[in-house]
A = this chain, B = another copy of it.
Amino acid sequence: MPIDPKSPIEVTAFGWVPDFARGQVRDLRVRWALEELGLNYRTRLLMGERPASYYREQPWGQVPVYKEGAVELFECGAIALHIAEKNETLLPADELGRKRAIAWLFAALNSIDGPAMAYVSAAFFHVDQPWSAGASAAFGEHLTQRLARLGDWLGNKEWLEDRFNVGDLMMVATIRGSDILKHAPDNLVAYVRRGEARPAFQRALAAQLADFAPDPA
């Protein structure tokens, strides 16, 4: 859906990030969920230093923040679940299917994102440190093992359970970065490509990229 300044839904995103982060900032996950449901939204773009008041909206000073009427939320997992609960597009109506989708949503954000971010932090954010190489090797090995288990689970299935759900959305978004995906088995790479090929993902990605201001001259 096009971004609509009159939408009742507001997503907070960054108005500028360095090149390496473009297409990776976490409001992408929320935009993607909204696109899957065909819901339009407006954006609030943060530029420069966050005011102190922003930490009352998002305790870590990150994005996204989500506003819809009285509902004001942070944490992309909670926001994705809130959106998914609107209908059956991302969350099956039967109890077991619903709970399994939520299990994968938590799996992406706890069991996969934790090891992935530890690796990225060691290998990239601290690349100039003497300990970076050793820590990257150890955390990279742990990430590889975790993604191998995930690949074992997936096997030759298309999605983690019997249909695309909010857990797949979050899992694909969590592991699609090239530095993470290089630790994944082939079937998981193909799974990510299936997710990225969805029109809703493509629209969300284009919308995030279009919102970034050019680099300062």
Chain A residues 79-109 with CB under 8 Å of chain B are: 81-82, 95-96, 99-100, 102-107, 109
Known: A61-B149, A99-B73, A102-B78. A129 touches B134 (CB 8 A): yes
A110 to B115 alpha-carbon distance, docked (Å): 11
**A114 CB-CB contact with B under 8 Å:** yes
Contact B111 A114 (CB under 8 A): no
Q: Does A32 contact B (CB under 8 A)?
A: no
Distance between A59 CB and nearest chain B CB, rounded to angstroms: 5
Q: Which residues of A from 133 to 161 have beta carbons under 8 Å from B?
A: 133-135, 138-139, 142, 146, 149-150, 152-153
Contact digits for A109-130, partner B, Cβ 8 Å, 1 yes 0 no: 1110110011001100010011
Q: How far is the CA of A78 from the CA of B31 in the complex (A)?
A: 23
Q: Does A197 contact B (CB under 8 A)?
A: no
How many positions in chain A have a CB within 8 Å of any CB in the partner chain? 50
Q: Does A71 contact B (CB under 8 A)?
A: yes
CA distance A165 to B123 in the complex (A): 37
For residue A196, CB closer than 8 A to chain B, the reply is no
Q: A96 to nearest B CB, angstroms?
A: 5
- For A114, the chain B residues whose CB sits under 8 A away are 110, 113-114, 117-118
Q: If the complex has contacts A109-B109, A110-B109, are A59 and B149 also in contact, measured as CB distance less than 8 A?
A: yes
A55 to B61 CA separation, bound complex (whole angstroms): 37
Sample of 28 A–B contacts (CB below 8 Å): A55-B152, A59-B150, A59-B153, A60-B146, A61-B149, A71-B95, A73-B99, A73-B103, A74-B103, A74-B107, A75-B103, A75-B110, A77-B109, A77-B110, A78-B102, A78-B103, A78-B106, A81-B102, A106-B106, A110-B110, A110-B113, A113-B114, A114-B114, A129-B138, A130-B134, A131-B132, A131-B133, A134-B135
